[in-house]
Structure 1
């Protein structure tokens, strides 16, 4: 039986040995305008997540009228449906090759791990859960954290090890305009 050793870089190597992939001092174009565009991306994603739930609620309401109020017993399904849809949306979109939700794509943002790897589905789902939990518990402080670090990471970004950066097309555009 063969085992991988720490020398070949597979097992036993701490992730703490990896440097941060994006440096705000030497690569400021990766972080330029990220916070404001992240807010707009969140609003776009919120509409995308909430719209189907509102349509489902309207369907249940009409179905309840047609079934003489029996259909209204489906209203408790809205809560779990919202949670499942929101987590699924984040997992699928962040786990895509673009590593971005639809709102983030519209704003030329992408999510990466702190060491530069693309996001994957499980990380996207965990990021969504960490976001909602941290927003519920530490509402204003989640946003304040971004003002005091160079990478503009929010609290839940620190918790799951991600960083939101401009995508390569926007970075190239910012580099061209700088010269």
Structure 2
């Protein structure tokens, strides 16, 4: 049964992941801002009265759908990282939703986000709190040697 790659045997899969994750997060933040602004316009600006709720819904849908569709958000794809499950496979739609829910809870409770960042910086597999709970991790995207 496959498991997550060992960081001692395949360190290239984990090198620079934290920095790339931060850049991916900033890219995703910008995308979510644009999508949320478009939603406000599409609702004839009524969405502006519910901006925090609208933002959360757009963020949840964006993250869940993009992770389910390729095991990475668009920001992650741009920076060359992907999420992998405990079996070293792409996240299923259910795992994508669970990962997004864990992320949203961490963002809502800053102490959990701090714990998550400390875990990412201090663990060999660069796993945040949600990653530890779900058995997932972010890796540098593997390249097909035949290409």
Q: Do 1:146 and 1:154's aligned partners in 2 also have CA atoms closer than 8 Å?
A: yes
Distance 1:52 1:21 in 2: 33
Q: Do 2:2 and 2:88's aligned partners in 1 also have CA atoms closer than 8 Å?
A: no
Partner of 1:39: 22
Distance 2:48 2:71 in 1: 33
Distance 1:103 1:41 in 2: 4
Matched, 1:156 2:130: yes
Matched, 1:89 2:72: no
TM-score normalised by length of structure 2: 0.84
Decide which of 79, 104, 107 is 1:135's aligned counterpart. 107
TM-score normalised by length of structure 1: 0.70
Q: Do 1:91 and 1:120's aligned partners in 2 also have CA atoms closer than 8 Å?
A: no
CA deviation string 1:39-63 (max 9, x = no partner): 0000001111111212444566xx5
Post-superposition shift, 1:87?
1.6
Q: Do 1:153 and 1:163's aligned partners in 2 also have CA atoms closer than 8 Å?
A: yes
5+ residue gaps, structure 1, are 1-17, 64-70, 173-179
| Count of paired positions | 143
Flag as ranges the 4+ runs of structure 1 deviating above 6 A.
Answer: none
**For the pair shown, which has the larger CA radius of gyration, 1 or 2?**
1
Q: Do 1:135 and 1:142's aligned partners in 2 also have CA atoms closer than 8 Å?
A: no
Partner of 1:103: 75
**Alignment RMSD:** 2.2
Q: Do 2:14 and 2:140's aligned partners in 1 also have CA atoms closer than 8 Å?
A: yes
Matched, 1:113 2:96: no
Q: Do 1:112 and 1:162's aligned partners in 2 also have CA atoms closer than 8 Å?
A: yes
Equivalent residues in 2 for 1:35-74, closer than 5 Å: 35-57=18-40, 63=44, 72=46, 74=47
